[in-house]
Amino acid sequence: MEIKLTHFSHGSGCGCKVAPAVLEEILKDSGETFFSKNLLVGNETKDDAAVYDMGNGTALISTVDFFTPIVNNPFDYGRIAAANALSDVYAMGGKPFMAIAILGLPVEKIPTEVARQIIAGARAICNQAQVVLAGGHTIDAPEPFFGLSVNGNVEIRNLRKNSTAREGDLLYLTKAIGTGILSTALKRDLIKEDDIREAVEQMSTLNKFGEEAGKPDFVHAMTDVTGFGLLGHLIEMCEGAGLSAEIEYAKVPLMTSVKELAGKFIYADNTMRNWKSYEPKVRGISGESLLTLCDPQTNGGLLIAVAEQDKNAFRALATNNGLTPQCIGRMMGRKAIIVEIS
């Protein structure tokens, strides 16, 4: 019997995140947190990971990320979930060094060989990233889920938050948009082999560039684009800095079949939920850009705010790391509208 992992999952990848509004509701009255002056980044700015000052010029970065199956191949699912979890450390300018696995599986319905493949995929990515996969915890659960808790470190001066962009900064994106649309098409068996390959390739590609991008002063802010889509993570970047942004839609890179699939109204469930929470903050959206800019990404690209005068140095750094990030817009002074799309 062929096991189709995605048929066990209600959401896909980072698309199974709870809505921002629900998350706020959950956290609102959950009590006072023990205060430590060593906590450099906590929950307030919706950043990618927590950061704790170790007192010697370096900080510990700690994060956890897991989700239900986004592809049917268990090895690929493990690779994608692992690369996605490591991404939040990279997005803060850090270097991940140790990970612990979190696995849930309906043990009656899914053979242990599948679990073994998931772990093998995660291990392959951790090896590639030179991260020790040092343990884990597995439970019997009705819906499969997998991910990692990750520790990383960073020299504090290289720490990059999502909230520190400056007016006039250029915005760069390191990966194309569309993994939510593609994985929805996959779940409904409406996808070509080539598109699956492209999606798996992109979702399992490490955002290791973040570790390098945190070093130069001209990188002012950074985050990775995941469940809230490009628009959601950009709004967080704007609100954190008290700024607005403008995006030129034609410059936003899209994965190969995304326009075609969006034209057939294939989109992830959470796209509309995302849009509902952003609508009053955005101007200039169209049918297609709504479906793509609100598309929940799994291990999406890094969104990086760069001082305009240093754009050539930034390009050179990216080229040295094998990337050609697309400049999609810029940060502006605060306006009534947070993101203007043209």
Tell the smallest beta-carbon distance from residue 151 to Co ion (Å). Answer: 15
Tell the smallest beta-carbon distance from residue 148 to Co ion (Å). Answer: 11
Of 12, 15, 41, 48, the one binding Co ion by CB under 5 A: 48
Could you tell me which stretch among 147-155, 218-226, 296-304, 321-329 binds Co ion (CB under 5 A)?
218-226
Beta-carbon contacts of residue 140 (< 8 Å; ≥ 6 apart): 104, 105, 106, 107
The count of residues interacting with Co ion (CB under 5 A) is: 5
Comparison of 86 and 339: residue with beta carbon closer to Co ion: 86
Token reading at 214: 């945190």
Residue pair 117/74 in contact (Cβ under 8 Å)? The answer is: yes
Helix (H, G, I), strand (E, B) or coil at 281: helix
Comparison of 257 and 271: residue with beta carbon closer to Co ion: 271
Subset of residues 50 to 109 that bind Co ion, contact rule: CB under 5 A: 65, 88
Tell the smallest beta-carbon distance from residue 17 to Co ion (Å). Answer: 8
Q: Is 58 exposed, middle or buried (0-12, 13-18, 19+ CB in 10 A)?
A: middle
CA angle 122, 51, 120 (to 5 degrees): 5
Does residue 236 interact with Co ion by CB under 5 A?
no
Tell the smallest beta-carbon distance from residue 173 to Co ion (Å). Answer: 14
Neighbouring C-beta atoms of residue 31, cutoff 10 Å: 6
Q: Which one, of 91, 129, 104, 42, lies nearest residue 213 by Cα? A: 91
Tell the smallest beta-carbon distance from residue 296 to Co ion (Å). Answer: 11
Amino acid at 93: G
Tell the smallest beta-carbon distance from residue 6 to Co ion (Å). Answer: 20
> What's the Cα-to-Cα distance from 209 to each of 149, 152, 163, 212, 259, rounded to whole Å?
20, 15, 19, 5, 27
Cα-based torsion angle of the residue sequence 179, 181, 187, 191 in order, rounded to the nearest 10 degrees: -90
Of all residues in the shown chain, the one whose CB is closest to Co ion is 48
Comparison of 65 and 198: residue with beta carbon closer to Co ion: 65
* Residue 14 annotated in active site: yes
Does residue 224 interact with Co ion by CB under 5 A?
yes
Could you tell me which stretch among 40-48, 239-247, 291-299, 308-316 binds Co ion (CB under 5 A)?
40-48
Comparison of 48 and 310: residue with beta carbon closer to Co ion: 48
Comparison of 198 and 224: residue with beta carbon closer to Co ion: 224
Could you tell me which stretch among 219-227, 239-247, 289-297, 301-309 binds Co ion (CB under 5 A)?
219-227
Strands, sheet with 219-224, edge to edge from the N-terminal-most edge strand: 219-224, 302-306, 170-173, 326-332, 244-247, 339-341, 282-283
Q: Which one, of 250, 235, 236, 249, lies nearest residue 337 by Cα? A: 235
Catalytic residue among 14, 16, 238, 294: 14
Token reading at 146: 């997998």
Subset of residues 243 to 272 that bind Co ion, contact rule: CB under 5 A: none
Tell the smallest beta-carbon distance from residue 226 to Co ion (Å). Answer: 5
Subset of residues 9 to 38 that bind Co ion, contact rule: CB under 5 A: none
Per DSSP, the residues of 45-64 read TT-SSEEEE-SSSEEEEEEE
Token reading at 265: 């109204």
Comparison of 150 and 266: residue with beta carbon closer to Co ion: 150
Q: Is 7 exposed, middle or buried (0-12, 13-18, 19+ CB in 10 A)?
A: exposed
Report, as residue numbers or ranges, the catalytic residues.
Answer: 14
Residues that bind Co ion (CB under 5 A): 48, 65, 88, 224, 226
